[in-house]
Structure 1
């Protein structure tokens, strides 16, 4: 086992979190088992987090803050810890995404990451055969917290119809994911359009991309290839992407008709018939 006394708190957010947890615990004159009893976990888990061998969750951090009366130290710190679990090449984009005032995206293969359910995200991320799947899932869910901010970004998603039909995980996972997409009808700052198959060729056959706009910084375009991501603020690239996105929006179904299509796919492919019974399309 790693000796916690040898941890360098400056090595990573996870190491810093572990060293601070140990410092606060010892200041409270609690051993690992005693703290575990208070926050409803094992002494082993406390030890693993203190030695940076386990990534803490947000729920764990909130319980630690309450137990040790830290004033929210660990709840604030856990966001940095979870973001550090993202692939290195993706972290710069995640930082910019969190600062964006407007996010527009075209997704050709799957549901946009900010709109994924936990189980859908787990199934998607597992395809990369990662060593630490649960940490990646937790990091993705942490990214989604920007949608719950007091002043969230405006998010406009154009989703290829293929993403509705491609079975990710299981029929139950897909049913829950499509229901989650429909739930965004209640959100003022998130809009979803579906680009239907009947459109045929369109302005982004080459693939998915994200368009970020900021209050005080230049616009950015983000794309991914098989193993990494790429950001650019080149004015010509941004202008070209804006034109293509405008064409995609014009070709896509309206927000209302998109919701109808999502509901229809739920019924016909994943056996859910509750959508029409519960409420009409807003």
Structure 2
């Protein structure tokens, strides 16, 4: 998580916004609580805005533009930031996952990161382009812990393509432990794991993996690429991803049959 001292406005649009948000607030003699009151949010939200651990909402940017008469500067800046490909997506994803009340995901080739065991994650990371295996593994497991170890964990629905279960990642022992973990997770009341079988044929999920997160009562989408991801916040863009999600849901096996598929795969790996 970024501290204010670590912000680099020359590297990141979001850092630039965070730094100038604080500068404008202080220049107008406002405390963090006073700004929070004006935005109708918690003081901690303002603190996260100013440390770039939370991206300022468009509605809040419009308020500060009116409050400080900045001629839409902050609203324009977040528009640029949303379209920028900055590479700090993993930090943002972890923050959104930590605060989400609902997480919906689709993955066709591998088990999603939030559902991985540490051994499976290590094997998957070794096959990639990691520069620091232990640091990357710690980050992935920390993301998982932040979601599943909460007192109020989010509602999670995961659609898995059949290839994610068939693709051997690491040894058979690692894969068996991973599938056993999926079976265990599927028994949680707040987790649904459904499998899209090979017989489903071509479908919209072939366009790539994605995640839908409900944060602060609004939905956003995360599209994953090879080296980094992209967040979609525009309601029309998010709706397009939700349509893909519903299309996959129409083809995926229901919860109980999906659990049976997982159990069968577990037996095959024995």
Q: TM-score range by the shorter chain?
A: 0.5 to 0.7
Aligned length: 187
1:142-200 per-position Cα deviation (integer Å, ceiling 9, x unaligned):
11121121111111000001000000001000000000000013311111000000000
User: d(CA) in 2 for partners of 1:185 and 1:229?
Assistant: 27
Q: After the TM superposition, which residues 141-220 of structure 1 pair with which residues of structure 2 at under 5 Å, given as runs?
A: 141-145=141-145, 146-216=147-217, 218-220=218-220
Once the two structures are superposed, residues 235-276 of structure 1 have per-residue CA deviations (whole angstroms, 9 ceiling, x without a partner) of: 1111111121112112101111111111112222x12xxxxx
Report SS of the residue matched to 2:266: helix
Higher mean C-alpha displacement, 160-169 vs 220-229:
220-229
Cα deviation, residue 130, structure 1? 2.0
Give the match for residue 20 of structure 2. Answer: none
- 3-state secondary structure, aligned to 2:260: helix
Match of 1:128 in 2: 128
- 1:11 shift after superposition: 4.9
In 2, Cα distance between the equivalents of 1:226 and 1:247? 24
Structure 1 residue 219: Cα displacement: 1.2
- Deviation for aligned residue 1:88: 3.3
The Cα shift of 1:10 comes to 4.7
Which 4+ residue blocks in structure 1 deviate beyond 3 angstroms?
9-12
What residue ranges of structure 2 are gaps of 5+ in the alignment? 8-86
The separation in 1 between residues aligned to 2:255 and 2:103, in whole angstroms, is 16
Per-residue deviation, residues 39-75 of structure 1 (Å, max 9, x unmatched): xxxxxxxxxxxxxxxxxxxxxxxxxxxxxxxxxxxxx
Partner of 1:258: 258
Q: Distance in 1 between matches of 2:108 and 2:234?
A: 23
CA distance in 1, matches of 2:132, 2:153: 29
Partner of 1:243: 243
Partner SS, residue 256 of structure 1: helix
